[in-house]
Structure 1
Amino acid sequence: MEAEKPVPKVGVGVFVLNKSQSVLVGRRRSSVGDSKFALPGGHLEFGESWEECAAREVLEETGLIIHKIRFASVTNSVMLNDKRPSHYVTIFMKGELVDPCQEPENLEPDKCYGWEWVKWPLVPKPVFEPLQTLIESGFQLAEVPIPDCSFGNV
């Protein structure tokens, strides 16, 4: 029997912005991109919209609830030097926090070392290849007006 030929997978990475216009990144614990910084996200499931995937993955990984989810960009990454070589088409989405004062929790410690807010594009190194490709492309993250939560104005 002949070995099955590898196929590209579809990933969704999500720009979650907080009240100070920082983006959420975490250091991966995975056979693909291990110990590299990435946005919250994961695999697109069969029949799922990009927006549904973005909201689901962010909630599952961080406990954050996002809305006003929209397309940001896409990359094509062939990662042959990982422990498990892979090819990903990564759809980047952008979403706003329903509660701009909410902080992330590390709900999948077996997949992520922890979350932190950073200014775009100052993502700590090493950076997961799809996100690094996006940074190198000069992608600009347009600012999203987010209410100030210091006085309860949400």
Structure 2
Amino acid sequence: MENGTTAAAAKPRVAVVVFLLRGKTVLLGRRRSSVGDSTFALPGGHLEFGESFEECAARELKEETGLDIEKEMELLTVTNNLFLEPPKPSHYVTVFMRGVAADPDQEPQNLEPNKCDGWEWYEWDNLPNPLFWPLEKMVRTGFSPFPKTVE
């Protein structure tokens, strides 16, 4: 293929990520990856054949953090992301889900240390830097993963 891209990179892939909320905090981990290395990102991963968005979100969260998520998840938004930088150009359609941990007192574990430096809860108004660019782009638009409260 042209420009050094591979056949795999030429096809869009689907990622499902989770805004796991606890109070006014969100769970983020520092990536160890050829795409977005050392940036803070949400837990998530590739959608597998036949999987629902909810199933993918629950599976990826469990694989990465050991946490279970409440069954009631919400689809928040979908973004179209092109990563054109070498060494691994790629195209992802990213599905953003929202949920809360089934056990609010359980702390996340780093179950994939080759992919993440660890998981921490961060206040939405005081997020770490640098954020993974699709997340940073959303934050800059004023997006909030927290439900609007009706009073």
Number of the residue aligned with 1:37:
40
Aligned equivalents of 1:54, 1:8: Cα separation in 2: 19
Please list every run of 5 or more consecutive structure 2 residues that lacks an aligned counterpart in the other structure. Answer: none
Checking the alignment, whether the CA contact within 8 Å between 1:106 and 1:115 is kept in structure 2 is yes
Ranges in structure 1 where 5+ consecutive residues have no aligned partner: 146-154
Structure 1 runs, 4 residues or longer, greater than 4 Å off: none
CA distance, structure 2, for counterparts of residue 9 and residue 137 of structure 1: 24
Q: Is the Cα contact below 8 Å between 1:21 and 1:144 reproduced in 2?
A: no
The normalised TM-score by structure 1 is: 0.85
TM-aligned CA deviation for residue 107 of structure 1? 0.5
Match of 2:133 among 129, 135, 141: 129
Where is the helix percentage greater, Structure 1 or Structure 2?
A: 2
2:66 to 52, 63, 67: 63
Give matches, 1:1-80, under 5 Å: 4=7, 6-18=10-22, 20-67=23-70, 68-80=72-84
Q: Matched residue pairs, number?
A: 144
* 1:87 to 2:91 alignment: yes
Q: Percent identity?
A: 57
Alignment root-mean-square deviation, CA: 2.2
Give, in whole Å, the separation in 2 of the partners of 1:15 and 1:80: 25
